[in-house]
Homo-oligomer: A and B are copies of this chain.
């Protein structure tokens, strides 16, 4: 939803956008171009949507994404369309997290609080085996710190069946809304509830499969 009455037309941070393509045009006060904000959103996200183009048609495919340094990684089956079509082509990776519903006294001023990131760039296919395996370790570790070393080691066949890709975090921007409702002047007395309803993603109790032995340590989980 959109909402009115921006408190400021100025970006929230002093970092200029890397390009005009990632400059926030609408509600620029919600735009953040500093890597600290971008990285924090990426590092707290499990899923991203990889958008690519085939025959003029855009496709947006949700998949696990993770960051190492200045690169945003994802993986795909070696024979998948995501891998075949996207490799070497321009992509957009989009991450979003919902933090709250924002209810105003007019429809237009309803909104949501969220954090989102958009990354533009060329999709690079990792061709070096050591790089690919290191990246896949990063995927497991980004969600379950310490788990990689506990797992049955990856086989050569498994590694070959998994395509690893990344995009450089050179051209990216974040967008953050974290406020209450902004009603138009005069609307405050309209007799309807207005405010914020927080939204959170929570994990339930781990459900072991039938082969887990009594006393086995439960996994450390960092995400979501």
Contact = CB atoms under 8 A, between A and B. Distances in A.
Interface of A: 1-2, 4, 21, 25-26, 46-47, 49, 51-53, 56-62, 64, 75-77, 79-81, 90-94, 96, 98, 101, 103, 105-108, 110, 112, 114, 116, 118, 120, 136-137, 139-140, 143-144, 147-148, 150-154, 158, 161-162, 180-181, 183, 187-209, 211-213, 216-219, 221, 224
Contacts of A51: 49, 51, 58-60, 92
A57 B217 CA distance: 46
A150 B77 CA distance: 50
12 contacts: A1-B64, A49-B94, A51-B58, A101-B143, A105-B152, A107-B148, A108-B161, A152-B190, A188-B211, A193-B219, A198-B203, A199-B204
Given A194-B211, A209-B194, A77 B2 contact: yes
Q: How many copies does the complex hold?
A: 2
Contacts of A2: 75-77, 161-162
A67 to B, nearest CB: 16
A219 B197 CA distance: 10
